Amino acid sequence: MKVSDLSVARGGVPVLSGVSFELEPGKALVLRGPNGAGKTTLLRCIAGLQAPLSGRIEGAEDRVAYAAHADGLKSMLTVRENLSFWAQVFGNNDISGALDGYALRPLADRLAGTLSAGQKRRLGLARLLVTGRPIWVLDEPTVSLDADAVALFGSVLRGHLAAGGSALMATHIDLGVEAHVLDISAYRAALDVDLGASDAAFL
């Protein structure tokens, strides 16, 4: 995947401009930057959830699986049913790797709505495995995870990279995975809008 001269906005306000990087198969890239720097906004653009202001994203279409703060679980389906649902959406039917990768077998028949925050997060991350998509775009993937679950995630991620997948993620946690780091502070967009006139942008 190649990102060239990308500019992105949030709520109509330009946040980043001139972002360029390449993400090769088997590689991980960690986005760094202070709160509000624009990591989530950049990840959402690359995942196709919002359009960039300008610039190019090549090699992402139909190859990206996105996991964000909102896990998007179906609360009235069980863990197994949630994974099967997503697997079908992506044309797969094998959910065993996802159940095992995140130690979800003991929870397989629980309704997703009854899971703890960390368990929900594990299920949200397990979904990536059933998509079969090579580029994982992850926004703070370890939020709510305990040390054991972080280790599970690190191990799954290493497997994904070793199999030729790649990962772009915003995280402050050391995952024990070799990764390049991109500090997006350098790409802060010049604010030339009248913020006083756009309160709605900060709702």
| Residue closer to ligand ATP, measured from CB, 42 or 152 | 42
- Site for ligand ATP contains 14 (CB under 6 A): no
Residue from 6, 19, 28, 39 that binds ligand ATP (CB under 6 A)?
A: 39
Piece of the chain touching ligand ATP by CB under 6 A; list 9-17, 46-54, 107-115, 127-135: 9-17
| Residue closer to ligand ATP, measured from CB, 76 or 191 | 191
Piece of the chain touching ligand ATP by CB under 6 A; list 32-40, 78-86, 95-103, 117-125: 32-40
What mask of x and - would describe binding to ligand ATP in positions 182 to 201, judged by CB under 6 A? -------------------x
201 close to 54: Cβ distance less than 8 angstroms: no
Distances from the Cα of 110 to the Cα of 76, 85, 105, angstroms: 9, 15, 10
Burial class (CB in 10 A: 0-12, 13-18, 19+), 119: buried
Cα distance between residue 57 and residue 188, in whole Å: 18
Cα distance between residue 38 and residue 19, in whole Å: 11
